[in-house]
Amino acid sequence: MKKRLIVSRKLSKDSDFEVYEDVFEFENTYNTLRLVEILFHGFDDNTENYEIQNSLLNYIIRILKNYSVNEQLQVIVTNRSCFYPHAKKWFLSFLCKYILEKDNLSNVFDIFQKYISIKETIEILNDLKIFTDDLPFEEIKYNLQYLIEEMNTKISNYNL
């Protein structure tokens, strides 16, 4: 299924939709983090059908609700290579879901610290800042600024 998703993720021809139809039929049988890891390969920033990929995003979020926030973030962050470079905006969209809620910020920070280098964390936070500039949600911007300040504090303490 992973290869079929990768080949069809731009959704440029009718046959590309078949794999997405198959995915949605798995809902009750395969609600696992392993399935989520495979589904991450179905995103592309240059898709010709954002509605299908947005449905895939919502489907994945429904599966992730069966797990703790830390487990959700861990599977997203540790599988970021599934999104880069072709689906960076989708990856950032997943992260925004967690940054929107202030209660999740310590989890986001902890997962970043555990699974991502400082350099890559800074890059992701900068990408998030650019990505969220046009969003109407001030809470995301405020919470993202908090994360950036926390990272700056960590870097300052590290350099002492």
Number of domains forming the structure of the chain: 2
pLDDT at site 26? 62
Same domain, 158 and 89: yes
Same domain, 52 and 116: no
15, part of any domain: yes
Contact 143, 131 (CB under 8 A): no
73, part of any domain: no
94, part of any domain: yes
135, part of any domain: yes
pLDDT at site 160? 45
Angle among Cα 98, 103, 109 to the nearest 5 degrees reads: 65
Same domain, 122 and 157: yes
- State how far the Cα of 53 lies from the Cα of 14, in Å rounded to an integer: 15
pLDDT at site 60? 92
With tokens 């610290």, the residue in question is: 113
Half-sphere exposure of 99 (CA within 13 A, CB side): 27
Q: Which structural domain, as residue segments, surrounds residue 31? A: 1-66
Same domain, 35 and 95: no
Same domain, 90 and 158: yes
Same domain, 57 and 90: no
pTM above 0.75, yes or no: yes
Same domain, 62 and 103: no
pLDDT at site 152? 84
Same domain, 95 and 38: no
79, part of any domain: no
78, part of any domain: no
Same domain, 106 and 132: yes
In the DSSP assignment, the letter for residue 48 is S
Same domain, 47 and 99: no
**Please, what are the averages of pLDDT over each run of 10 residues along the chain (160 residues)?**
79 78 64 86 92 90 92 97 95 94 92 92 92 88 91 72
